Amino acid sequence: MEIERKIKLSSGYEIPVLALGTWQTPADTASKVVMDAIEVGYRHIDTAIAYGNEVGVGEGIKRSGISRENLFITSKIPAEVKNYEDAKKCIDESLERLGLDYLDLMLIHAPKPWAVMWLPITKNYDKGNLEVWKALIEARDAGKIKSIGVSNFKIKDIENLINNTNEVPAVNQILLHIGKVDKDLIEYCKSKNIEIEAYSPMGTGRLIKNAKIKEIADKYNVTVPQLCIKYTLDLGTISLPKTTHKEFMIQNMAVDFELKEEDKELLNKMKFFI
């Protein structure tokens, strides 16, 4: 089953290819959501400082009764943090909120603060990203984090880190779904042995109502979310579907079907600006 499949990161650690994303999961329900996910079979939980739900995620992990070494937990340093000291503080505070001795993976959430992330001309944040990267490297070497990576980074942002530190991110977590596939970025990451994580594989829910995608899903007697998740997995990425409902968690695990090449081609030709 895909829920049980793992791949090895360049850091040497294994990561489950299917995770529970917790973006927009309210802090007061995060504990139950995470506990439910672990109960039905998820072993990879993705959170972030910016989500404001680390305490709840940590409570869910603790209440699940599953031993720590059988779980893969990811968090992220906020996009607004672009200096060494604040990054160090974020790492320690994240561990404290989650109630963990170590994180399996920690990422720089974005190469720029969110307020300017999508603006065409902004201040250069290369130096700040290097400071945060240095804090992550030190935390990894100290045993606080097993693997380190980035999120929403483009090729030039990744090269800034590699060229100045000789440290290659284990992961780049990006927005990836049917109709939005950055082939150049994926190929570049593949060439550097950087695994791609696909967040919002359902296009933040907007693909669910797409008639063309539903038509293909119906051919396989699966839901649109199942098709969307399968699509990202078939691209060789790690998929991070988000849901707070136990029944959908179970559905999202059931992606052990094979897409025909002609249907993959139809999906590959779709373009959505989400």
Per residue in 89-107, pLDDT tens? Answer: 999 999 999 999 999 999 9
Q: What pLDDT was estimated at residue 139?
A: 98
Q: How far apart are CA 81 and CA 48, in angstroms?
A: 13
Instruction: Return the structure tokens found at 274.
Output: 């989400």
- pLDDT, average across residues 188-195: 98
CB 85 within 8 A of CB 128: no
User: Is residue 188 scored above 80 in pLDDT?
Assistant: yes
Domains and CATH numbers, the chain: 2-269 (3.20.20.100)
- pLDDT, average across residues 250-270: 96
159 pLDDT tier (thresholds 50, 70, 90): very high
Angle subtended by helix axes 211-219 and 224-234, to nearest 10: 80
Q: What pLDDT was estimated at residue 127?
A: 98
Residues with catalytic function: 51
Q: What pLDDT was estimated at residue 273?
A: 58
Which three-class secondary structure state does DSSP give residue 174?
strand
How many other C-beta atoms lie within 10 A of the C-beta of residue 177?
Answer: 23
- pLDDT, average across residues 206-230: 96
Average pLDDT, the chain: 96
Residue with tokens 């720089």: 108
Share of the chain above pLDDT 90, in %: 93
- pLDDT, average across residues 79-97: 98
User: Is residue 180 scored above 70 in pLDDT?
Assistant: yes
* pTM as predicted: 0.96
Per residue in 9-24, pLDDT tens? Answer: 999 999 999 999 999 9
